[in-house]
Structure 1
Amino acid sequence: MKTRQGKGQHSPRGLRIATLAVAIAAAGGTAHATDVFRLEGFGAISRGMGGVATAHDVGAAGMMTNPATLSLMPADNTAQIGLDLVTTDIDVTNRSTGEHVHSGDHSQNRGPYYAPQAALTRRVGQWTFGLGAFAQGGLGTEYGRSSFLSRATGGIDTGLENSSRLLVLNIPLAASFRASEALTIGGSVDAVWQGLNLNLLLGADQVGSLIGASRVSGSLLPVLGGLPDLRGAHFSLTRNSPLASGVNAWGYTGRIGMTYALTPATRLGAAYTTRSRMSDMEGRATLTAIDGVAGQIPLGGKIRIRDFQMPAVVNLGVSHRVNDQLTLAADVSRVFWSSVMKDIKVGFVADAGGDLNILLPQNYKDQTILAMGAAWQMDSRWTLRGGLRLAQQALSSSTLFAVIPATPRKHVSVGVGYALSPSSTVDFAWSHAFQENMNNVSLPNTSAPIRVSHAQDNGTLVYSYRF
């Protein structure tokens, strides 16, 4: 499976394939994350092995976890293109009435979720360079307009949507250096784009709870309070399209990493990804006040989601080749959610004048994740993979939103790789997130006591071409 054409040589066909792949991935779709807002592994090799990637060669996708693993790739140059497809099974139950709603494909906005990926790597002497485009993660729900989630205080059916879609896309530029036969070191700088669609109804009791906790301010607050019979407020910042987002922003992040071979069969790895530095997400939105006397009063304006960041991550890993066929690997990760997801900060400025600022509490906890995987090379063409991933719960039940149910934390995965030729390989992985249940009976993030059940399946297909 290892092919070399000599250092510095490359195939024009391969370059054309890689260029096309990066362009396709940069125009990508949506993904639903399983480690809160983060996908549980990048590329089919890592995904099939439970997400391990810190001390094991997982191909070009290794630049998303530990760029130092790029030096472990056998070929001088590699281009890859792939696709994730995620199907979710999310139900929300009103524990007071027994009503429930299933998140499904109610519009063009969400689900099922897909995320193209692409990458190109090239070796120059002891250096290996990489450029890629990968969905880091996201979330998505679609509850429609007619469930109890669209009912304002006092039982008023609003006919307004409750839904969400977040996509985070990373474009890493990576480099890895083989310092010795045992040591590789690497780093990357990533351009990051994120886009958010959101439709959210808050009942009058939720609005009152936020006001009582000093989480609402602005000149529109007295206007809402002056309505004769306020029953709720609805935010809509959505572009009903497979790709476009209601608000979006650009920023950057970076990572460093290393691997060290203790023996020819055992390698250790470590990597650190910095907290992202994103601009505020901005776009157009409609704030609709629901009043029992005046009806629905929509206000168009500009909206800003302030300081919405992805967390820093520390990864430690080990990979051990038991024999020529079997390799075992494990990663331990610490994800620092508490420093970036205390509140969702919303700022709205109406076209007609006036503003409203809201802090929606989240209070995520830092998360420790254990990933374990195995790869069995059956022969020169076939490789089988399997993995398990266990994570601590980052979300707090008291601040759970039905439209942000990023709760799964237990995953099992299987994968297969097939060498089409000495220079090309197809890898497939399937991972299952076991159902996780969480209750919230607390204002302000829910009015009715709710129970959210969330499970999902993720299929990943990747084609790699070595030249």
Structure 2
Amino acid sequence: MQRCRYLPVALAGLCLAPQAQATNVFRFEGYGPVSRAMGGTAAAHDVGNAALMANPATLGLSPEGGQLELGLDLVVTDIEADNLATGEHAKSSRKDLASAYYAPQLSYVHRDGPLTWGAGVFAGAGLGTEYGRHSFLSRTPDGTSTGLENASRLLVLEVPAGVSYAVSDRLEVGASLEAVWTGINLDLLLGADQVSTLIGQNRVRGSLVPVLGGLPGLQGAHMSVSDSNDVRSGVDAWGWGGRLGATFRASESTRIGAYYTLKTRLDDLKGRARLTAVSSVAGQIPLTGNIRIIDFQLPDALTIGVAHQATERLLLAADLSRVRWKEAMKDIKVRYESDGGGDLDIRLPQDYRDINVLNLGAAYRIGRWTLRAGASFAGQAIPDDRLFAVVPATPTKHASVGFSYDLGKSGSVNVAYSHAFRETMTNRQLPNTSAPIRVEHAQDNLVVNYSYRF
């Protein structure tokens, strides 16, 4: 079990370092350069080995024989939080290629007649902010600068193994089962007004509540659940997930596809934490202990799509997904047990909404080149009054372009670029913010992939 604990660190060295800032809440808007360039469509056309992360039935659309793929995602984020009361700005520091998030991915698929199978390691989802120690987010409501960090990092590694089978020349079915590892780092300062509101809403319980409440001059409480290493996390856990899918060739030029993504089944995320009470009288009082984030899951989703070969060269595709965030992300539930005795049970309200996601894409082949473009439109899962500055998973609109160059029998080079248009949200309400805030989030993703066939 001790060895298993360090396995994700080794995997992360291959597939996620230091972290990935995802879109459409925590997930990427498409996996692999083919799907990403075509707006995230993947239900009814060949997207390469990334079918392991989408509709496993489309594995059967891959070429005969083996196909090894090695890819890299680069993500550059532009995130700012504004204090609407004072006009101050806090910037998250990932705005150039030198500090971009990057996510290598590795997979292998083999097709032998009607049977296709494969496995891979992918960056499944992520989130990252780095506001530092000296912005208004590190200041208590009475104006005291604490010098305490405000940051977040969510890593999700997925290790899928999938299979598809051609039931007939028109119907393909597929399934995948995956090991899922999730790790979280979180540094968050809550002002005294936020703490008292959570207590008043019965969202904080435990023997440490009267201790905090009785501390003279309490100004806030800071929770640090983090590891400074780029790939390790403050709390982590293993679990599993999977997908079921099918495609049906309705005509010579049109294919319909559908797949269902299961809700993950993760154990509680466990690790060490430091709770720091901030007092105007006693200063900063740190307490170390064990922490669990309880029942943190990624949601189930149903996707249906169609791909139409409009001409010999032009392929058109559209997918529609329903993602059930409401059940998966109602509260962030935390249990903290101090080394010195005492505990806290905290429920941070999130109240995410179920969302619809529409993906549109096109591909045009010219000789050895295939040119692609697409767009993605999603509903906003996060209510304004539940927004945390350190959890700005807000972009909903993306545009993408890309291309492939066929190298012949040896494979192809594939590239995609997508832009998440700036999304702005405002939260003026306790308990998830003390000062009224406006958060703006835009980002750029570049995906490069080499596919080797043999």
User: How does the TM-score come out when normalised to structure 2?
Assistant: 0.96
After superposition, what is the alpha-carbon deviation per residue over 1:381-435, rounded to whole angstroms, capped at 9, x for unaligned? 2111000100011000000000000000000000011123322211010000000
Match runs of 1:62-141 below 5 Å = 62-105=51-94, 112-141=100-129
Q: Does 1:51 align with 2:40?
A: yes
In 2, Cα distance between the equivalents of 1:153 and 1:410?
34
Match runs of 1:212-231 below 5 Å = 212-231=200-219
- Which moved further from structure 2: 420-429 or 231-240? 420-429
Which residue of 2 is the match for residue 193 of structure 1? 181
Which residue of 2 is the match for residue 33 of structure 1? 22
TM superposition shift of 1:241: 1.7
TM superposition shift of 1:25: 3.4
From the superposition, tell whether residues 27 and 356 of structure 1 become closer, same or farther in structure 2 (CA, over 3 Å): same
From the superposition, tell whether residues 317 and 412 of structure 1 become closer, same or farther in structure 2 (CA, over 3 Å): same
In 2, Cα distance between the equivalents of 1:434 and 1:307?
31
From the superposition, tell whether residues 374 and 276 of structure 1 become closer, same or farther in structure 2 (CA, over 3 Å): same
In 1, Cα distance between the equivalents of 2:104 and 2:296?
23
Q: Does 1:461 align with 2:448?
A: yes
Match runs of 1:346-357 below 5 Å = 346-357=334-345
Count how many residue pairs are aligned between Structure 1 and Structure 2. Answer: 443
The answer to whether the Cα contact below 8 Å between 1:22 and 1:117 also exists between their aligned partners in 2 is no
TM superposition shift of 1:29: 3.9
Q: Does 1:273 align with 2:261?
A: yes
The answer to whether the Cα contact below 8 Å between 2:62 and 2:111 also exists between their aligned partners in 1 is no
- Which moved further from structure 2: 404-413 or 417-426? 417-426
In 2, Cα distance between the equivalents of 1:249 and 1:87?
27
TM superposition shift of 1:24: 5.8
Which residue of 2 is the match for residue 148 of structure 1? 136
In 2, Cα distance between the equivalents of 1:309 and 1:85?
25
Residue identity matched to 2:333: K
Residue identity matched to 1:405: P
Which residue of 2 is the match for residue 172 of structure 1? 160
Q: Does 1:261 align with 2:229?
A: no
The answer to whether the Cα contact below 8 Å between 1:22 and 1:132 also exists between their aligned partners in 2 is no
In 1, Cα distance between the equivalents of 2:402 and 2:107?
20
Which residue of 2 is the match for residue 11 of structure 1? none
Aligned partner of 1:204 among 192, 199, 204: 192
After superposition, what is the alpha-carbon deviation per residue over 1:57-102, rounded to whole angstroms, capped at 9, x for unaligned? 0001011110000001123211101011101000100000000111
In 2, Cα distance between the equivalents of 1:235 and 1:23?
25
Which residue of 1 is the match for residue 374 of structure 2? 387
Three-state SS of the structure 1 residue aligned to 2:407 is strand
In 1, Cα distance between the equivalents of 2:185 and 2:365?
43
The answer to whether the Cα contact below 8 Å between 2:128 and 2:154 also exists between their aligned partners in 1 is yes
In 1, Cα distance between the equivalents of 2:12 and 2:331?
34
Match runs of 1:298-337 below 5 Å = 298-337=286-325
TM superposition shift of 1:26: 5.0
TM superposition shift of 1:115: 1.1
Q: Does 1:360 align with 2:360?
A: no
Which residue of 2 is the match for residue 371 of structure 1? 359
TM superposition shift of 1:23: 8.9
Structure 2 residues not aligned, in runs of 5+: 1-9
Three-state SS of the structure 2 residue aligned to 1:360 is strand
In 1, Cα distance between the equivalents of 2:364 and 2:104?
27
Which residue of 2 is the match for residue 16 of structure 1? none
TM superposition shift of 1:378: 1.0
Residue identity matched to 1:45: V
Q: Does 1:282 align with 2:270?
A: yes
- Which moved further from structure 2: 97-106 or 76-85? 97-106
Residue identity matched to 1:220: L
In 2, Cα distance between the equivalents of 1:296 and 1:412?
46
Residue identity matched to 1:241: N
Q: Does 1:409 align with 2:396?
A: yes
Residue identity matched to 2:428: V
Root-mean-square deviation over aligned CA pairs: 1.5
In 2, Cα distance between the equivalents of 1:203 and 1:71?
54
The answer to whether the Cα contact below 8 Å between 1:22 and 1:119 also exists between their aligned partners in 2 is no
Three-state SS of the structure 2 residue aligned to 1:156 is coil
The answer to whether the Cα contact below 8 Å between 2:16 and 2:123 also exists between their aligned partners in 1 is no
In 1, Cα distance between the equivalents of 2:427 and 2:214?
30
From the superposition, tell whether residues 425 and 358 of structure 1 become closer, same or farther in structure 2 (CA, over 3 Å): same
In 1, Cα distance between the equivalents of 2:16 and 2:350?
30
In 2, Cα distance between the equivalents of 1:420 and 1:297?
62
In 1, Cα distance between the equivalents of 2:42 and 2:332?
31
In 2, Cα distance between the equivalents of 1:23 and 1:184?
33
